[in-house]
Structure 1
Amino acid sequence: MAEAGFGLAGARVLVTAGAGGIGRAMAEGFAGAGARVWVTDIAGAALAGCPADWRRSRVDAGAEAEVAALFAEIEAGWGGLDVLCANAGTAGPTAPVEAVMLADWRACMAVNLEGAFLAAKHAAPMMKAAGQGAMLLTSSTAGLFGYPNRAPYAAAKWGVIGLMKTLAMELGPFGIRVNALCPGAVEGPRMEGVLAREAAAKGTTPEAIHAGYAAGTSMRSFVTAADIAAMAVFLASPGGRLVSGQAIAVDGHTENPDPKV
């Protein structure tokens, strides 16, 4: 990677689920640092709305044949990859464990955990060949704490951290750093859906759940997608060259992940 600005000028960056939300903010952050950006998503309309100078591919993060084809295309088009942001995720069901359907559990795992595994699996050979690289796996504060009524999501995000710790040990000798980002409650449409479902489950309002989440942080605030993107850019930059194997919370310091409402 070039060492100008954040040291990311010309860097080749892949962001999965990069057409919206946290992924879109990550892609914008890397592009702003001078990197070349490739985004994937399953939402064709959102992909079409991305900047024309970004490379774009419609890919199901949990489908290995599609992921393998993507990385073959990256190899052919870019000749390698400097930064992987394995960001694809889904909220999964909000329900007590006895009401969670196995199909919903598996669907949540397929995107959140298997998606990160597949991206890392296919990025690793390119990065090993180059003797350098940075992988950022999107976990959650749900990977650091238990979350009532969110068993599939929390289990998947804990799994992402276990995967990251293992990859950091396995790939470090090849010059590859691996870290996990753990967003807290992030403002935006996806969190609004979570708040609505939790409110329905608890017989209260989304506004009350929102206030409970914010009160459970020492900063008394939700975070934004831009906050997550800023940390991603730093971790991938030369400034983060010896940061690896870390689950880094960007959450305003979550003290109480279960809103008491």
Structure 2
Amino acid sequence: MWPHRVRLAAGALSLAFLVTCSAPERHPRVARQARPVLHTAALRPVVVLRSAWHADEGAVRDKPVYDTGVRAVFIHHTDNPNDYDCTKDVPVMLRAMEQTHIAQGWDDIGYNFVVDKCGDVYEGRAGGIDRAVQGAHTEGFNIGTVGIAALGHFGAGQPVPQPMLRAIARIAAWKLAPGIDPLGKVRLVSSNDRSRYRRGTAVRLNAISGHRDVYETDCPGDALYAALPWIRRTAARLRKDATWPAGLAASPRRASRAEG
């Protein structure tokens, strides 16, 4: 009987050795590196709210419409004379603009934001500056976009003030959805036949475009249109500066005059 027991023990030992040697090798799990986070709050400019420029809320004809996000920004100019005083004249100009846009059937001022030559940013259409309010600024392409209007006329030969350009770039950097590249293109679909594109037509456009890119107009003027590449680069740089490693506590730093 002993030889039999010895054979069983030897067999068990061999089996144990086989199981031990065949067990999968355990490697420590490599932790995934978290993606950096764009802190849009750090890009938020100082905005003069509607209550400060005394918008006529009683004249607004309909409630705000909200989109799920902002995929593109359209730049405009208002075609006003450029000799206004930033402190005294702008609120009066905005109230006149609101009345005109309502009379044209747009329910409220059409632009989401208006920027003056001093770089001050004003809330345009009602609904909340931190939300994706659908404007009435770019025929056929209001859905999922933001309209920024430069207060004044910026045709060929008319210099665009740097504070104005910096403020426009900051708004664009702030309002575009985190996944949108200010230097890239986006796919938008025309919502009616009054733009350059028939209803239902899908178009690839710059994430920061001029009004004339989708509508028969010279807006935002040759000088401001020529500055769009600078605005795109600046918006991209601002977003890069506001992109921090995951887990880093956000302490939004707001610019005093919307220019960073």
Which of 1 and 2 has higher RCO (CA within 8 Å, sep 6+)?
2
| TM-score, structure 1 as length reference | 0.29
| TM-score, structure 2 as length reference | 0.29
Q: Which has the higher helix share?
A: 1
Larger radius of gyration: 2
